[in-house]
Amino acid sequence: MSESGSRTPARLAVSKLMLTGFRCYAKLRLEVDERPVVLSGPNGAGKTNLLEAVSFLAPGRGLRNARLGDVAMRAAGSPEGPSASPWAVAATVRTPDGLVDLGTGRESAAAANGRERRAVRIDGEDARGQAALGEHFAAVWLTPRMDRLFVEGASARRRFIDRMVFGFDPAHAGRVSAFETAARERMRLLRSPGSADPVWLGALEETMAGRGVAIAAARKETVSRLGAFCERPVGPFPGALVVLDGALEAWLDEGPALAAEDRFRAALALHRRSDAESGRAAVGPQQSDLRVFDAQSGAAAAQSSTGQQKALLIAIVLAGARMQTHERGRVPVLLLDEVAAHLDASRREALFEELLVLGAQAWLAGTDAETFAPLKGAAQFLGVASASVTPIG
């Protein structure tokens, strides 16, 4: 039963998607229903770009963690690197409260006073920030780049958890942004001899302490709840144990949040010189890490086989979707890029079955439509070629 009572959870679903100047799409208008959406076509055709466009309907930097200028369409022969061109993603989304029109994109340089700025509109009205998107839409995703989540740097794992937090606490995106802005400004002052005003440094460290502890607390609470949903195996997918490690998390275990803020603020003041030398703060939410273990064997995910890592990752993503469904009374949209290509037949069919049981509008992309044959009759199949999308069958 969800927190909304005995009401059956409603699925979030995109019913209309419109792109302008986004990646390879100069213009696109696509209408779909609430069933899973299967996108098939050759590499480079634009399948992942469609998933990324949908991911921008939620707070954050999308499934590629891209800067706003990176997703703008470029003219033939234009140089690589961020583009100054505006772009837009608009969608009509079915929510538990009815249809909502969401829009987001990069404003022109003139409109944004030369700064990189993302505009957000809800039902035709300007919204103050990305957090407003999280009130109406939530998505979880899995991409090929995430296959090495357990063996590469901790920053990707922190982003993974932050995306889950966005699904429950849209204001989390604003806290992360405010912390990162204050941290950059503090570092700029520390590395500019003679310009480090101690009063301004103290104000920045005050912001970092308050936002940083709030970020750590939100991550810690989300991971704690997630554990109850991913510890149990689902079919051929293993159960997972998830733990968040970090100094701020340890301080929150030892006392109240205000005490953790005091300790963080004192640590920032103490380490100013060493932070200036290293180029980053020695303590803070940017040092936290997610540890994952196989619930049955106890083996660390980082030491597991490639196939087992992929199975653990899928299990956690599905657990996150079940948690949102249970706690918020709405089934998030799932964006799964090439997720089935390296699964054996039993795990592939189990994944598709779990998506249907969950009732999610899952967007699945792959090169071969036959990979998704078990979903025939239960999903809508679309072919993607040269930035053009057409129904199959």
Residue 288 clears pLDDT 80, i.e. is over it: yes
Average confidence (pLDDT) over 41-59: 96
Amino acid 240: pLDDT: 97
Check residue 84 and give its pLDDT: 65
Average pLDDT over residues 287-304: 96
- pLDDT classification of 82: cutoffs 50, 70, 90: low
- SS3 track for the chain: CECCECCCCEECEEEEEEEEEECCEEEEEEECCCCCEEEECCCCCCHHHHHHHHHCCCCCCCCCCCCHHHHECCCCCCCCCCCCCCEEEEEEEEECCEEEEEEEEECCCCCCCCCCCEEEEECCEECCCCHHHHCCCCEEEECHHHHHCCCCCHHHHHHHHHHHHHCCCCCHHHHHHHHHHHHHHHHHHHCCCCCCCHHHHHHHHHHHHHHHHHHHHHHHHHHHHHHHHHCCCECCECCEEEEEECHHHHHHHHCCHHHHHHHHHHHHHHCHHHHHHHCCCCCCHHHCEEEEEECCCCCEHHHCCHHHHHHHHHHHHHHHHHHHHHHHCEECEEEEECCCCCCCHHHHHHHHHHHHHHCCCEEEEECCHHHHHHHECCEEEEEEECCEEEECC
pLDDT for 341: 80
Calculate the average pLDDT of the chain: 92
pLDDT confidence band for 331 (50 / 70 / 90)? very high
**Region 173-177 average pLDDT:** 91
pLDDT at 2 over 50: no
Per-residue pLDDT at 88? 95
Instruction: State the average pLDDT over residues 348-364.
Output: 96
Class (C level, CATH) for 151-303: mainly alpha
Domain ranges of the chain: 1-148+326-393, 151-303
- Residue-level pLDDT at 7: 57
More confident residue, 193 or 312: 312
pLDDT-derived band at 110 (thresholds 50, 70, 90) equals very low
In tens, the pLDDT along 14-25 reads: 999 999 999 999
Q: Check residue 3 and give its pLDDT.
A: 42
Lowest mean pLDDT among 26-40, 77-91, 156-170, 340-354: 77-91
Question: In the structure, what pLDDT confidence band is assigned to residue 128 with cuts at 50, 70 and 90?
Answer: confident
Residue 60, pLDDT score: 87
pLDDT in tens, 215-268: 999 999 999 999 999 999 999 999 999 999 999 999 999 999 999 999 999 999
Q: State the fold for domain 1-148+326-393.
A: Rossmann fold (3.40.50)
